[in-house]
């Protein structure tokens, strides 16, 4: 069996990919992340786990040597609050993909996957909450999300040219807001679904039935459950799709509607306040899935309500574990 490398395996999506590959029966797996192993969201003892900083070429070569397949899910990123306040840090992730491509070329990797983002899309196409779903061509002329979006767009071009100039097998997907269990839910890097779940849980546990929402709640997004993401990544990796392609749900909701769903799951109604000065991102963003349906006869389809129920339950358990630990430490 081919030896598979998952970069960013200590993170949310990378951890789920390793878990799924194990379920499929893959035994030759190498997992790499720059976080200490104790901080990985999912870690498996039957996998070759390594702590490496993939911003460095030498560490990329250590990671890639002996592997046939590389999934690059590594990046320094988070939700909108993190992206807007850490533009230089997000841009530095360009070193990860560049050095991984060089290492993949050096060791004749047979297949390479790069995880891009819907943040590459032209901001002028996203100025209305009732946004027309973004198709792949809407990335140009270029005006992506400052920092993080520019890094992803540049890395897409790098992948394209490694394919054109060196004949490398490269596949790329533009992720649209992935969410689910075993990911960041507090601390500043969490994305909207996890943040809303945490805030509703806090209100539920504390008895203070209030919630603060960033922005005015009218901005729109689509959110893809992690299971759809992991399946889509592998479908795209094994396809004939040469150009970056959307990987996202086409079920668009406003942030207010997202809160409605989580409130309903929790069985309570909260008083809402709106922080209009908080990081907010573009007015509207949704995934046009015309191309992925054409190429794969498939698209992400897990309903938002269904995915949020599982996400809420997991975050609730994690929240209560943390509460018990805090109370024990205070005694």
- Both structure tokens of 26: 């893959």
Maximal C-alpha separation, the chain: 63
| 148 catalytic residue (yes or no) | yes
CB–CB of 287/246 below 8 Å?
A: yes
If you search the block for the tokens 């990081």, which residue do you land on?
279
CA quadruple 67, 70, 73, 76: dihedral, nearest 10: 60
Residues 6+ apart with CB under 8 A from 59: 52, 53, 99
Q: If you count DSSP H runs as helices and E runs as strands, how many of each does the chain have, helices first? A: 11, 13
CA distance 308 to 258: 9
CA distance 171 to 162: 11
CA separation (Å) from 215 to 81, 116, 130, 219, 261? 12, 26, 16, 8, 18
- Both structure tokens of 216: 């005015």
- Both structure tokens of 317: 């358990």
SS3 content of the chain, % helix, strand, coil (to 5): 45, 15, 40
CA distance 223 to 311: 12
CA separation (Å) from 36 to 40, 78, 287? 7, 18, 34
- Both structure tokens of 221: 């997004």
Indicate which residue of 41, 121, 148, 312 is catalytic: 148
Active-site annotation, residues = 148
């Amino acid at each position: 069996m081919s030896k598979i490398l998952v970069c960013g395996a200590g993170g949310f999506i990378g951890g789920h990919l390793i878990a799924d590959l194990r379920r499929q029966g893959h035994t030759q797996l190498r997992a790499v992340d720059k976080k200490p192993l104790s901080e990985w969201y999912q870690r498996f003892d039957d996998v070759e786990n390594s702590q490496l900083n993939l911003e460095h070429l030498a560490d990329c070569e250590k990671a890639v040597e002996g592997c046939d397949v590389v999934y690059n899910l590594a990046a320094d990123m988070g939700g909108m609050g993190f992206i807007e306040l850490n533009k230089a840090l997000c841009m530095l992730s360009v070193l990860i993909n560049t050095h991984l491509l060089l290492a993949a070329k050096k060791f004749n990797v047979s297949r390479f996957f790069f995880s891009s983002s819907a943040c590459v899309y032209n901001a002028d196409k996203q100025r209305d909450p009732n946004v027309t779903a973004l198709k792949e061509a809407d990335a140009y002329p270029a005006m992506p999300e400052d920092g993080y979006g520019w890094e992803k767009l540049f890395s897409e071009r790098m992948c394209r040219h490694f394919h054109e100039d060196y004949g490398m097998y490269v596949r790329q997907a533009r992720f649209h807001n992935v969410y689910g269990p075993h990911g960041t839910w507090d601390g500043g890097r969490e994305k909207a679904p996890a943040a809303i779940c945490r805030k509703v849980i806090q209100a539920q546990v504390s008895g203070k039935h209030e919630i603060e929402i960033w922005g005015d709640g009218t901005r729109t997004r689509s959110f893809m459950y992690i299971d759809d993401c992991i399946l889509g990544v592998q479908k795209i990796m094994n396809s004939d799709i040469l150009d970056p392609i959307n990987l996202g749900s086409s079920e668009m909701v406003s942030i207010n509607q997202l809160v409605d769903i989580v409130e309903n799951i929790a069985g309570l109604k909260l008083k809402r306040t709106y922080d209009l000065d908080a990081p907010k991102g573009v007015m509207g963003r949704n995934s046009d899935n015309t191309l992925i349906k054409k190429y794969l006869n498939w698209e992400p389809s897990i309903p938002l309500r269904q995915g949020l129920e599982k996400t809420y339950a997991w975050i609730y358990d994690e929240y209560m574990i943390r509460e018990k630990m805090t109370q024990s430490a205070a005694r």
